[in-house]
Amino acid sequence: MKELLTSNYSLSTLVAGVDEVGRGCLFGPVVAAAVILPDETLSELKSSGIKDSKQLTSVGRRKFDLMIRQVALDYQIGYCSAGEIDRINIFQASLLAMKRAVTKLKLRPSLCLVDGKWAIPDLEIPQQSIIRGDEQVLAIAAASILAKVWRDELILRLAKKYPEYGLEANKGYGTARHLLALKEHGPSRHHRRSFRPCRE
């Protein structure tokens, strides 16, 4: 993974990596994380094998989640509920979740590096959108891990309350079992009713 920060920004600059997860799910919130890593830990984190959360196992994500939390200067989680997603659409909700994560940071970053094509609206901090940033920027990859672990843990707690949907296995995505359960039981209050499988 190429770490863009080491050559482009001074050591005194606070740079936050920002990413979201759960955009394609049928159940639960879309979740974002913002994380500020100290420059002196970047090489060690890179050599440890940290990468985009989608390329890691659940065990690897949990290991790196703990490591990131231990060394980060600051990190925060933001999310939008299924109800908010239904009201404003998943695209806007994803951006809002990222904004919420950034604005909760106790340290104000000088720059936000945001995964994807689109800038976060009305963010009063300079930002740079990076397509496939979670594969190129360590801080964005770290944010993807924090967001993924936080969301998965939430879904596992909700799975005990809604066992009929098989959430412990699908994490809210539209697997065959999940789609069948929707037909048999209908959507729960945490389902995204604006998504077609939850309407039918």
Query: Mean pLDDT across the stretch 121-150?
Result: 95
- pLDDT at position 2, please? 43
Segment 150-179, tens digit of pLDDT: 999 999 999 999 999 999 999 999 999 999
| Mean pLDDT computed over every residue of the chain | 92
Whether the predicted pLDDT of 10 surpasses 50: no
* pLDDT-derived band at 48, boundaries 50, 70, 90: confident
- What is the CA 166 to chain-centroid distance, rounded? 22
- pLDDT at position 12, please? 56
* pLDDT-derived band at 200, boundaries 50, 70, 90: low
pTM: 0.91
Reported as half-sphere exposure (CB side, CA atoms, 13 A), residue 90 has a value of 17
- pLDDT at position 42, please? 84
Helix H segments across 36-189?
42-48, 58-71, 82-88, 90-103, 138-161, 167-170, 176-185
Whether the predicted pLDDT of 5 surpasses 90: no
> For 37, which DSSP code?
-
* pLDDT-derived band at 50, boundaries 50, 70, 90: confident
Residue with token string 């989680």: 77
Q: For residues 187 and 13, which has the higher predicted lDDT (pLDDT)?
A: 187
> For 28, which DSSP code?
S
- pLDDT at position 110, please? 96
Q: For the chain, how many helices (H) and strands (E)?
A: 9, 5
Q: Which two tokens stand for residue 18?
A: 């920002």
What percentage of residues in the chain have a pLDDT greater than 90? 80
End-to-end CA distance of the chain: 42
- pLDDT at position 11, please? 44
* pLDDT-derived band at 9, boundaries 50, 70, 90: very low
What percentage of residues in the chain have a pLDDT greater than 70? 94
- pLDDT at position 3, please? 44
